Amino acid sequence: MAQWVMDAAVKRSDATFELIDLVDYPLPHLDEPLPPAMGKYQNAHTQDWAATIGRFDGFVFVTPEYNHSTSGVLKNAIDYLFAEWNNKALGIVSYGTVGGARAAEHLRLIAGELKMADVRTNVALSLFADFQNFSELAPGEHQAQTLETLLDEVVAWSTALAPLRQA
Ligand SMILES: Cc1cc2nc3c(=O)[nH]c(=O)nc-3n(C[C@H](O)[C@H](O)[C@H](O)COP(=O)(O)O)c2cc1C
């Protein structure tokens, strides 16, 4: 899924995109002594993760739906940081039996707490309609256009929020 998003994103000329795979950032269960909003990250793995996320102006989270929410791994990675997410745009690409819709809505609640601007458009990939054998991505034709709209919105809001990030 993430590669499908990336393949569309890199064709654009209005922003540059990178794929961050959490497999490459194996964070332990959150182990910082202080809440992230205090901005005093003590562990090297947290500081590295903060440096990675801090470089970006906006995000597209690609999430499965597990028990009507996002994955524990993504939630843990989100929870590590605070300021690095603030005043940045967020688009959500979700997948599950009903397009991962409940995972996406949960992420919107989390985004509010992190001062992220979650865009309206959600690419919701159905395990029944947009996959073969529930495992190989074969998105319906309309999904590519929905993804373009999502990326339009993420770039627009990332750009609009730049003054707040600089403040
Ligand atoms: C622990 C677990 C819970 C799941 N819960 C849901 C769910 O609540 N709703 C849903 O639509 N699919 C659910 N599924 C199905 C997953 O969305 C589906 O298996 C998806 O392909 C998993 O993506 P992944 O292979 O990237 O982990 C669940 C799967 C797992 C492993």
Output the pLDDT for position 167.
84
Q: What percent of the chain has pLDDT over 70?
A: 100
Please tell me the distance between residue 65's alpha carbon and the centre of ligand 1 in angstroms: 5
Q: What is the pLDDT of residues 69-102, one digit of tens each?
A: 999 999 999 999 999 999 999 999 999 999 999 9
What's the pLDDT at 20? Answer: 98
The b/e string for 20-33 (b: 16+ C-beta within 10 A; e otherwise) is beeeeeebeeeebe
Confidence at residue 110, expressed as pLDDT on a 0 to 100 scale? 98
Q: Which single residue is written with the structure tokens 């005043």?
A: 87
- Closest atom, ligand 1, to C-alpha of 127: 21
126-164 pLDDT, tens digit each: 999 999 999 999 999 999 999 999 999 999 999 999 999
Residue 6 C-alpha to ligand 1 middle, in angstroms? 22
Q: Ligand 1 pocket, 67 CB below 6 A?
A: yes
Which CATH number is 2-11+38-166 given? 3.40.50.360
Q: Within 10 A of 98 (CB to CB), how many other CB atoms are there?
A: 15
Distance CA 35, CA 45 (A): 15
Rounded distance from Cα 166 to ligand 1 centre (Å): 38
Q: Ligand 1 pocket test: pick from 4, 66, 75, 98 the residue with the most ligand atoms within 8 Å of its Cβ.
A: 66
For the stretch 36-70, pLDDT in tens is 999 999 999 999 999 999 999 999 999 999 999 99
Helices then strands, counting H and E runs in the chain, come out as: 6, 5
Helix, strand, or coil (residue 71): coil
Q: How far is the CA of 159 from the centre of ligand 1 (A)?
A: 33
With cut-offs at 50, 70 and 90, classify the pLDDT of residue 117. Answer: very high
Q: Say what the pTM is.
A: 0.97
Query: DSSP 3-state assignment of 9?
Result: helix
Between CA 22 and CA 132 the distance in angstroms is 25
39: left (phi over 0), alpha (psi -120 to 50) or beta: left
Query: How much is the mean pLDDT over the chain?
Result: 97
